[in-house]
């Protein structure tokens, strides 16, 4: 009887140990899956930020322009160019200062300050347009981002606007496009989100360069046009296009392909970002003056 009881007691202990091991293994597996999920979400979030900071690394979504070998070689050239010149983070609506070498006067440089009104292109064909009003005359300069004549790109004010393009500034009052050529850079706290400027500009009276009433502009005050122009705009509108999933798919790069592209260049981009932050700290440091 005593031996039987001892055997039963041992079997219960063994079962408890088995249950304890199984529960520990299950908890470990759950923790590992949770860590993997958090890591994958962090990677996706980081690559989502890259999508907006480095949009030129994404190829054209049009099939007829795709070439995997050319795109890979272009990405290598873009990273190599970024090691020679610091191309900072900027968006449409940011105020930039660009210093270029003068093609017609060797040894001389030209500087232009303006607001970025458009950013387009991909790969080595990435471009952006700066606009400023100088001597009561609107001036626009189109820069190729990876042009070897560019010596320096500096962000004077990092911000976004309510629209993806600011071409309507061409038909706006001059004060919305006027910036001091000697403007000093405005420092933004490291890690702070990029501010969105909610300003709404006022257009000049017609005629305009484009039919702005036909565009869904968020950064423009109420547009005053005759009723028949609003009727024409309503007839030409295509509100169903935002529900066209196939068109959206054809005009975008799949997320899996974006992760693969940025995974290819993330190491070099991270090194360049660390170097840029170090140089920024050096520039912002002010050496104290020695008191007499």
Tens-digit pLDDT profile for residues 172-208? 999 999 999 999 998 888 778 999 999 999 999 999 9
- Looking at the domain assignment, is residue 122 inside a domain? yes
Beta bridge partners, 147, equal none
The neighbour count for residue 37, using CB atoms within 10 Å, is 10
Range of the domain at 102: 57-198+244-286
This prediction has a pTM of 0.78
Average pLDDT, the chain: 83
Q: Does residue 183 fall inside a structural domain?
A: yes
| Number of domains forming the structure of the chain | 1
Dihedral angle over CA of 75, 79, 80, 81, nearest 10 = 100
Structural domain includes residue 273: yes
Residue 67 has, within 13 A of its CA and on its CB side, a CA count of 7
Q: Largest alpha-carbon pair distance within the chain?
A: 109
**Distance of alpha carbon 71 from alpha carbon 56, whole angstroms:** 11
Residue 139: the pLDDT is 95
Name residue 134's beta-bridge partners: 137
Give the pairing type, strands 109-120 and 127-134: antiparallel
d(CA 134, CA 22): 75
pLDDT digits (tens, 9 = 90+) for 216-260: 899 999 898 999 999 999 999 988 888 888 888 888 888 888 888
Question: What pLDDT is recorded for position 2?
Answer: 46
The CATH number that applies at residue 189 is 2.30.30.790
Looking at 20-29, 44-53, 153-162, 176-185, which range is the least confident one? 20-29
CA distance 157 to 179: 11
**pLDDT band, very low/low/confident/very high, at 279 (cuts 50, 70, 90):** low
- Residue 34 in domain: no
Residue 93 domain flag: yes
Measured in degrees and rounded to the nearest 5, phi and psi for residue 188 equal: -115, 135
4 falls within a domain: no
42 near 258, Cβ under 8 Å? no
Q: 29: pLDDT confidence band, cut at 50, 70 and 90?
A: low
């Amino acid at each position: 009887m005593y031996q039987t009881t001892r055997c039963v007691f041992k079997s219960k202990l063994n079962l408890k140990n088995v249950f304890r091991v199984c529960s520990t293994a299950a908890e470990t597996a759950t923790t590992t899956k949770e860590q993997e999920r958090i890591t994958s979400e962090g990677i996706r979030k980081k690559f989502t930020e890259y999508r907006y900071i480095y949009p030129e690394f994404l190829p054209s979504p049009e099939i007829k322009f795709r070439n995997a070998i050319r795109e890979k070689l272009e990405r290598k050239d873009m990273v190599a160019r970024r090691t020679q010149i610091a191309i900072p983070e900027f968006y449409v609506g940011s105020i930039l200062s660009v210093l270029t070498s003068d093609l017609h006067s060797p040894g001389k440089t030209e500087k232009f300050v303006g607001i970025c009104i458009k950013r387009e292109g991909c790969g080595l064909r990435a471009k952006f347009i700066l606009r400023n009003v100088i001597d009561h005359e609107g001036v626009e300069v189109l820069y190729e981002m990876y042009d070897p004549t560019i010596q320096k790109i500096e962000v004077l004010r990092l911000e976004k606007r309510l629209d993806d393009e600011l071409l309507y500034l061409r038909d706006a009052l001059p004060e919305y496009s006027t910036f001091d050529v000697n403007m000093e850079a405005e420092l933004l706290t490291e890690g702070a989100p990029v501010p969105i400027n909610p300003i709404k500009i006022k257009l000049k009276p017609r005629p305009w360069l484009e039919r702005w009433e036909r565009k869904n502009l968020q950064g423009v005050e109420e547009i005053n046009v005759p009723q028949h122009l609003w009727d024409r705009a309503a007839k030409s509108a295509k509100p169903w296009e935002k529900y066209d999933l196939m068109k959206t798919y054809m005009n975008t790069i799949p997320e899996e392909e974006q992760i693969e592209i940025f995974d290819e260049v993330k190491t070099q981009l991270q090194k360049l970002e660390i170097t840029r932050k170090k140089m920024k700290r050096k520039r912002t440091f002010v050496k104290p003056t020695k008191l007499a």
